[in-house]
Structure 1
Amino acid sequence: MTRPILDVRNLSTHFTTRRGTIKAVDDVSFAVGQREIVGLVGESGSGKSITGFSILGLVDPPGRVASGQILFDGQNLLDLPSRSMRQIRGKRIAMIFQDPMMTLNPVLSIGTQMIETIQAHETVSRAEARARSRDTLGLVGIPSPEERLDAYPHQFSGGMRQRVAIAIALLHRPDLIIADEPTTALDVTIQSQILFEIKRLAQEFGMALIWISHDLGVVAALADRIMVMYAGRIVEAGPVDGVLARPAHPYTSGLLNAVPAAVPRGQPLRPIPGMAPSPLDRPSGCSFRDRCARATAVCAAEPALEQAADREWRCFHPHAGRAA
């Protein structure tokens, strides 16, 4: 991996409720190199999105970052005052959200929103900001970008709205983009087009990318490395080809075996049994042990992080072979 642009160390994000404390992110550590694309995968509720929100300082009360460090270009973001964090957010670290209609203002034209985004961080004329907005819309494949600047979000299709959201994230050519399942609601044809554009633009502008998803197929096509998250912790990480071809953690194998393309035609899928534990009542030791066919008495203890070459995992009984 190249020199890390982002180095997350022992990050924990908690939510305090009347019933107790939810450890949404529990002692998570990882690094992202410059120009690297990293996939963060797992079931809903595993802590993927909260990890992204924690990096950007977007966790609202009753949530809080309880401990850890988030080193961006060597600077701990958790030590920065709100004003300094706002200067980084959007300019050097951008985020693409899952639903663009939740982030685009329905009563402002696309051009107005893009121009305001530029002028929030740079002292440029409105004409210059509009020209850059137009050019960026063209980069993400929106036809007639000059005309579309005057359109409103409801006048775009779902795929085009997502392209607008990507364009807004690209306006300042950030060092890092965090993409939170931005293609989930799109059909496969539009999804493929957007994945191609994202990968091309990341390479062209030298940006690092964290792609949060539950879709292993998308991550396999896009990422250099993959991190598998379960119950608030990263349970396996490594190069995407190696992890998907020879998963070490039983949870990773379970995710792969539940993908329809991995099962012979006419055969039933093999879903992971049971459900993820409640964040308010997680079992001691390995959080996956109640759903794991390989679990033994030793799994009642907390598994340590094991490392071999460029792979790491948390499991007492790692798989030695391929996933089905």
Structure 2
Amino acid sequence: MTHIPTLAVEGLQTWFHTKAGVLKAVNGVSFEVDRGKVLGLVGESGSGKTVTGFSIIGLVDPPGRVEGGRILFNGTDLARLPAEELRQLRGARIAMIFQDPMMTLNPVLRIDTQMIEAIRTHSNVSYKKARSQARDALGQVGIPSPDERLAAYPHQFSGGMRQRVAIAIALLNKPDLIIADEPTTALDVTIQAQILFEVQKLCRQTGTALIWITHDLSVVAAIADEVCVMYAGRIVEQGVIDEVLDRPTHPYTQGLIGSVPGHNRPGSPLQQIPGVMPSLLTLPKGCSFRLRCRYADSACQVEPEMHVVANPYHATKCWHPLSGEVSHGI
């Protein structure tokens, strides 16, 4: 029997057609996420990780559009689905947690109205049952006095509390796939740890697949089974989380790990990646990281292919893959 992952992204291309030219925000991205697994999508701002998430769920606005590739959700290509069928999947079988909770919450409706509607739109349950599920979901993400909070409006919550409500809404229908775009950035570390625990437990218990988009390697180390490192619209390294973090083979991945404070000796300056990421409108020929890489040579003027290193579960897109373990405090 052929194995079908919950999500398989194959050669995804999402481009923005601007007056200045074509901006290739996502250019040939491929990965898979299985049932009950967590994939970390890591990279600095502008690397394309959020656009990847929006592309999967069909929320890329003009002038951007998916130009190529396949987005296979349980074997069905989402990129070819009619808009109404994709809308039916969103919120029921696929959920997204946005970085800004007000992209999820309606400011003029009470929390109970929004949560109950989210449940009853996709499930044939009574109002009483839906309200009970909504209350339990708020408690699951650490919101005290959930009965009272259900009667409140979004403006009566702090930013962190609004984000917890948005996360609770994403968890309501126990979807097959959740895409989380840096949802815990505004939360304190205690609540962040609680939510990471609850999300991991949901994945293990229900088989939900999770894509966690972040720039924070410490969060990825805590939650992910596998990781994809993105740079300038492409994945430059991917594999099992321990393998990639312990033995990074791409200079960019090594630079990201080196910039984490826990990796450096007390009193010593943070390691930095020189320069800045090039404009996606004017990417250099060949490897897009070569102008910032100390290992770059003439071979890097040709773009490398993704190839396996060390073991079948670790691949890199580099002509000069690094070797050897690193000691880090992630």
TM over 0.5, yes or no?
A: yes
- Unpaired segments of 5 or more residues in structure 1? none
Give the corresponding residue for 1:313. Answer: 316
Report if aligned partners of 2:14, 2:65 keep a CA contact under 8 Å in 1. Answer: yes
| 1:104 partner SS | coil
Give the corresponding residue for 1:189. Answer: 190
* 1:129-208 matched pairs, under 5 angstroms: 129-208=130-209
Report if aligned partners of 1:159, 1:190 keep a CA contact under 8 Å in 2. Answer: no
- Unpaired segments of 5 or more residues in structure 2? none
Structure 2 residue 28 is the aligned partner of structure 1 residue 27: yes
- TM-superposed CA distance for 1:3, in Å, is 4.5
Report if aligned partners of 1:37, 1:223 keep a CA contact under 8 Å in 2. Answer: yes
Report if aligned partners of 2:40, 2:220 keep a CA contact under 8 Å in 1. Answer: yes
Report if aligned partners of 1:174, 1:207 keep a CA contact under 8 Å in 2. Answer: yes
Whole-angstrom distance in 2 between the partners of 1:79 and 1:154 = 38
* 1:88-107 matched pairs, under 5 angstroms: 88-107=89-108
Give the corresponding residue for 1:280. Answer: 281
* 1:164-313 matched pairs, under 5 angstroms: 164-308=165-309, 309-313=312-316
Report if aligned partners of 1:22, 1:280 keep a CA contact under 8 Å in 2. Answer: yes
**Structure 1, 175-184 or 201-210: larger mean CA deviation:** 201-210
How far does the alpha carbon of each residue in 1:46-65 deviate from its partner, in whole angstroms, 9 at most, with x for none? 00000000000000110000
Whole-angstrom distance in 2 between the partners of 1:189 and 1:130 = 27
Whole-angstrom distance in 1 between the partners of 2:236 and 2:300 = 14
Report if aligned partners of 1:39, 1:226 keep a CA contact under 8 Å in 2. Answer: yes
Whole-angstrom distance in 1 between the partners of 2:22 and 2:271 = 33
Report if aligned partners of 1:306, 1:314 keep a CA contact under 8 Å in 2. Answer: yes
**Structure 1, 273-282 or 95-104: larger mean CA deviation:** 95-104
> TM-score, normalization: structure 1?
0.96
- From the superposition, tell whether residues 277 and 323 of structure 1 become closer, same or farther in structure 2 (CA, over 3 Å): farther
Work out the number of aligned pairs and report it: 323
How far does the alpha carbon of each residue in 1:25-50 deviate from its partner, in whole angstroms, 9 at most, with x for none? 00111100110001000000000000
**Structure 1, 142-151 or 37-46: larger mean CA deviation:** 142-151
Report if aligned partners of 1:256, 1:323 keep a CA contact under 8 Å in 2. Answer: no
Give the corresponding residue for 1:42. Answer: 43
- TM-superposed CA distance for 1:140, in Å, is 2.3
How far does the alpha carbon of each residue in 1:66-86 deviate from its partner, in whole angstroms, 9 at most, with x for none? 001000001111111111001
| 2:6 partner SS | strand
How far does the alpha carbon of each residue in 1:96-130 deviate from its partner, in whole angstroms, 9 at most, with x for none? 11121342112111101111212322343333322
Whole-angstrom distance in 2 between the partners of 1:68 and 1:223 = 25
